[in-house]
Amino acid sequence: MRAWPWLLILVATVLALPILIVVGFLFVPAFEVWGHLFDTVLADYVSNSLLLMLVVAIGTLVGGVGSAWLTSMCRFPGRGVFEWALLLPMAMPAYIIAYTYTGLLDFAGPVQSGLRALTGWGWGEYWFPQVRSLPGAAIMLSLVLYPYVYLLARAAFLSQSLCVLDVSRTLGNGPWRTFFTVALPLARPAIVAGLSLALMETLADYGTVEYFGVSTFTTGIFRTWFGLGNPAAAAQLSAMLLGFVFLLILLEHHSRGAARYHDTSQRRQSLRRLPLHGWQAAAAVGFCLAPLILGFLLPAGQLSIWAITVSQQRLDLEFIGLALNSLALAASAAVLALALALLLGYGRRLLPTRPVRIAVRTAGMGYAVPGTVIAVGVMISFAWTDNSLDGWMRASFGVSTGLLLSGSLVALLFAYLVRFLAVSLQTVESGLSKIRPSLDEAGRSLGLKPGQVLHEIHMPMLKGSLLTALLLVFVDVLKELPATLILRPFNFNTLAVRAYELASDERLADSAPAALTIVAAGLIPVIILSRSITRSRASR
């Protein structure tokens, strides 16, 4: 037991090392590069990132909160299908939906080609919105990120007491006034939490903004590292982006602390959903159908058409190798993340002291950090380790070890653990919180050691949580692009990298098989999440 706190603190410190290194580079001089960035592109990085966040915030709030309220509190045709189907866009990575809509809406795409064939117009004789633009990138991100808000908002609406809503109705408030004055404020903390997740994903995005030519912090970090060859300036840009992320976290915590609306009723009744008829039912169906079609059905359908009829990429040995690389990386990262999550989560349960709680929270903060920032921190720390080891071996034995860690799969897996440990950690801690402490005491009274209690009592009861944690990390790693681009070994590709490379070469149709494989894998945890949310009200 005495070794547990030190082990937990050591694990947390190692996992936080890339982020701490990025922050530490704030004090490394890079004046010439910073002068160049300040005079040319820094203003664009800041303004574009802020505008992107603003538009995505509006889109995700409207789509997520509106659809969550309709599917939770109203009755209309198709509501049961929309309950789970509205989560499907979560399986579609933003960069893949960006490639798809570019192929559909560009000048040579089927939409504009059909418009010219129908009207006889030529180039320059009509106006058509540019999909490769900042508003286009914001729309793409909104279509795949609104499920974060929908997921948490719907869970909050389903958990609200009907007593409170009935009181509002007896005071003369209609359903919409009740929504705005009672239900929405009660769900505010959950909505803000979902919005914070969506905005953090917006700041972390690289594939969409790079493909659309929008200069943001993530593209700037990549260009500064590889274009200007200045790790210090790239790390300092990463620290600025980190400041944006932590500002969002602070705003989310402040919103929770400042809320003055609490549902104190303990009564939970069967939901009496408001029936919608006529134009109201049609409007509800249209409101829920629009994000589902635009965010999943249309791009998935177009990808399927490309993969079957146009793409030259077949299921040959090369594609199978890419799939095996991706699956092996994702599976390895998922298993390692689950093992660390069990270690940290159970360690905190055993020793709920302040240092241990801080260590566990520190280990789980990587999910709030963009992949480019983590990749920069990992490259700097691993390069320093390799150089130090090589220098010591040369001085002591006259042997050069070269680069053992940098540019290896070890560095890539470590970056995945830093980035996605929080996903499995939160899932495991949620499962552990439902197990009564008396079961631990019973096991210890029978002579079981802490490790045996975890293995023989907790893990069988946590099967659902453990499977969910594995699947979520597996799919997140499968979709991860910027960290993989920066840290992958030479001549090592994944499905995400191949889809990005082909799309960057304007071979959109050829990127479809890899993109479809990633989307198909993402459907599994989405279905699990949907089923758990749907059962939540019944379990109460």
Give the mean pLDDT of the chain.
Answer: 81
The one-letter code for the residue type at 433 is S
Range in 28-37, 159-168, 179-188, 346-355 the model is least confident about = 159-168
- pLDDT at residue 55 tops 80: yes
Which of helix, strand or coil describes residue 207? helix
Average pLDDT of the segment spanning 423-430: 78
- Is residue 209 classed exposed, middle or buried when 0-12, 13-18 and 19+ CB atoms within 10 A define those classes? buried
Helix-helix angle 42-73:31-40, to 10 degrees: 60
Task: Round to whole Å and give the CA distance between 432 and 19.
Answer: 28
DSSP string, 43-96: HHHHHHHHHHHHHHHHHHHHHHHHHHHHHHHEE-TTHHHHHHHTTGGGGS-HHH
Digit-coded pLDDT (tens) for 229-265 = 777 787 788 878 877 777 776 776 666 554 444 444 4
The one-letter code for the residue type at 150 is Y
Residue 289 sits at φ, ψ, to 5 deg, of: -75, -35
Taking the CA of residue 78 as centre, how many other CA atoms within 13 Å lie in the half-sphere pointing to its CB?
A: 15
Task: Round to whole Å and give the CA distance between 280 and 260.
Answer: 32
Choice between 436 and 417, residue whose per-residue pLDDT is larger: 417
Residue 312 sits at φ, ψ, to 5 deg, of: -90, -5
- pLDDT at residue 195 tops 70: yes
The one-letter code for the residue type at 189 is P
Task: Round to whole Å and give the CA distance between 51 and 428.
Answer: 36
pLDDT at 517: 87
Domains of the chain (ranges, CATH numbers) = 1-40+311-525 (1.10.3720.10), 42-214 (1.10.3720.10)
Task: Round to whole Å and give the CA distance between 252 and 258.
Answer: 10
**Cβ-contact 415, 371 below 8 angstroms:** yes
Average pLDDT of the segment spanning 98-122: 88
- pLDDT at residue 300 tops 60: yes
Nearest-CA neighbor of 151 among 199, 191, 91, 97? 191
Assign 164 a pLDDT band (cuts: 50, 70, 90): low
Task: Round to whole Å and give the CA distance between 252 and 107.
Answer: 41
- Is residue 40 classed exposed, middle or buried when 0-12, 13-18 and 19+ CB atoms within 10 A define those classes? exposed
Assign 534 a pLDDT band (cuts: 50, 70, 90): low
- pLDDT at residue 429 tops 80: no
- pLDDT at residue 271 tops 60: no
Assign 169 a pLDDT band (cuts: 50, 70, 90): low
Q: Which two tokens stand for residue 278?
A: 């006529």
**Cβ-contact 11, 340 below 8 angstroms:** yes
Average pLDDT of the segment spanning 269-279: 73
Task: Round to whole Å and give the CA distance between 33 and 224.
Answer: 9
H or E stretch covering 274: strand 274-275
Q: Is the pTM of this model over 0.85?
A: no
pLDDT at 399: 83
- Is residue 382 classed exposed, middle or buried when 0-12, 13-18 and 19+ CB atoms within 10 A define those classes? buried
DSSP string, 302-320: HHHHIIIII----SSHHHH
Task: Round to whole Å and give the CA distance between 200 and 196.
Answer: 6
pLDDT at 97: 93
Task: Round to whole Å and give the CA distance between 212 and 137.
Answer: 7
Nearest-CA neighbor of 310 among 103, 102, 115? 103
Assign 284 a pLDDT band (cuts: 50, 70, 90): very high
